[in-house]
Amino acid sequence: MMEVNKIVLAYSGGLDTSVIIKWLKEQYDAEIVAFAADVGQGQELDPVREKALATGASEV
C-alpha cells in the first residue's frame, strides 16, 4: 500500500469532519491539513479554524 504523508481535508467544522481528522491521523499517521473556504462569512471562520487545530489538524 502507498504511504500517505499528508492529507488535505475539506473541513466544515461540523461533527463529521471534526471526528474524521482524528481518525485519519490515527489510521494513516499523516499530517492533516484542514481546508475551510472563506466565502464571505467573516469572523465565523475563526471558531472553525480553532476547532480544526484542536482536533488534530496541523494547519488550516
* Tens-digit pLDDT profile for residues 2-48: 788 999 999 999 999 999 999 999 999 999 999 999 898 878 899 99
| CB-count exposure of residue 31 (10 Å: 0-12, 13-18, 19+) | middle
Task: Give the cell for residue 56.
Answer: 488534530
Identify the domain containing residue 40 by its residue range.
6-54
Domain count, the chain: 1
The answer to whether residue 59 sits within a structural domain is: no
pTM of the model as a whole: 0.85
The answer to whether residue 1 sits within a structural domain is: no
- Residues sharing a CB contact under 8 Å with residue 41, sequence separation 6 or more, in sequence order: none
What single-letter DSSP state applies at residue 59?
B
**pLDDT number for residue 53:** 97
The answer to whether residue 30 sits within a structural domain is: yes
